[in-house]
Amino acid sequence: MKRLLDIVFVCMVSIVLLAVGSVDYKANSDKDIQTYQQTLEQAVKGVNLKDIDHFLVTTTGYYPGPECCEPFDDGVTAMGVEAQRGVIAIDDKNGPFKMGDIVYVEGYGYGLCCDRGSAIKRWRADLCFDTIEEAEEWGLKLAKMWKVN
């Protein structure tokens, strides 16, 4: 019964977070997102993440050139894949996704979790774009992510 209540609580927190910080929400600061993220992380402690339909993740856009990635701007991800749209950087040790996971990000599309970033911790994801303008347009926002595989 407690497990079911935990899952319901996670869903309720997700609904609240979506109401306050939907996919179209752009935070005024990283601190705004961090507050939501901490609330969600607290809610999911002890809950089996496989029981959750989707995850609400802090996302940022990046471009694989020197403007965003210097000194790691060689265009190759941690898994050896060419950095391009569809590549997603994650924290595979402390976050809900693992390297090699195929995911769907609302507002972005399908992607492969195959990169890491020094600023990508826990429930964060960095989405690769083909141009710096697209990455800047995406900015920093909360987005729903589904694990496909």
Q: What percent of the chain has pLDDT over 70?
A: 63
pLDDT by residue (tens digit) across 26-62?
A: 445 555 555 655 555 555 555 555 556 788 999 999 9
Rounded mean pLDDT of 73-92? 88
Backbone angles phi, psi at 124, to 5 degrees: -120, 155
pLDDT by residue (tens digit) across 118-147?
A: 788 888 999 999 999 999 999 999 999 998
CB distance 112 to 87 below 8 Å = yes
Domain boundaries, the chain: 2-147
Burial of 83 (0-12, 13-18, 19+ CB in 10 A): buried
- The architecture in CATH of the region 2-147 reads Beta Barrel (2.40)
What confidence score (pLDDT) does residue 78 get?
85
